Amino acid sequence: MDDRYLKKLELSDAFIVGVSDIDEYHQYLVSLINDTVDAWLEGDLDQCRVRWDLFCLKLSEHFIEEEEIMRGYGYEVSKHNQAHVDILEKTKTICTDNKTLEEWKMCIYGGINDLVEDILKHDLHFAAFLKDYVKPRHKSPDKAK
Ligand SMILES: [Fe+2]
Ligand SMILES: [Fe+2]
C-alpha cells in the first residue's frame, strides 16, 4: 500500500463531556496524535516513535486523572477502567516493532480509533450520568459567601 494520506483527528462538540479538566485533556491528546500524523506525513520514522510514545504516556496519565475525577462524582468506573487497561495494553504491544510507514499508519489509526471509541462509549456515558448528578448536600457550594 502506498497511500500517503492520513486524516487528522478533530473532536466536534458532540465529544464534550462537560468537565473542563477532561475536555481539555482530550484536546491535548488530539494535538499529540495529530503531531504523530504530521511526523507520518513527513515520512519521519524517528519522530513517529517519539511522538507516539508521548501520546501513549499522556494517554495513560489521562486515564488515571479521568477515573479519579469520575470517582469524585461517585461514578462507578470499573467497566471504564477495564476499557482503559485494554487500550493501554494494545497501544503498548501493537506499535513496539514498527519499522515502516505502513506499520505506523495502522498504529496511528488504531490510536485515533481507540481514543474516539473511549470517549464515545465510556466518557460520554459519564457525561450522561453528570446530567442527573446532584451535589451532596454536605458540600457547600462554591462561592457561597
Ligand atoms: Fe477520556
Ligand atoms: Fe475514558
Does 21 score more than 60 pLDDT? Answer: yes
- Distant-in-sequence contacts of 106-109, Cβ < 8 A, 24+ apart: 107/52, 108/6, 108/33, 108/36, 108/37, 108/40, 108/48, 108/52, 109/6
pTM score of the predicted model: 0.89
pLDDT for 94 equals 81
Structural domains for the chain:
20-131 (1.20.120.50)
The per-residue pLDDT for range 85-136, each reduced to its tens digit, is: 999 999 888 888 899 999 999 999 999 999 999 999 999 999 999 998 787 7
Asked if residue 143 has pLDDT above 80, the reply is no
pLDDT tops 70 at residue 2: no
| pLDDT recorded at residue 1 | 46
Rounded to the nearest angstrom, the distance between the alpha carbon of 24 and the centre of ligand 1 is: 10
- Measured in Å, residue 3 CA sits from the centre of ligand 2 at 31
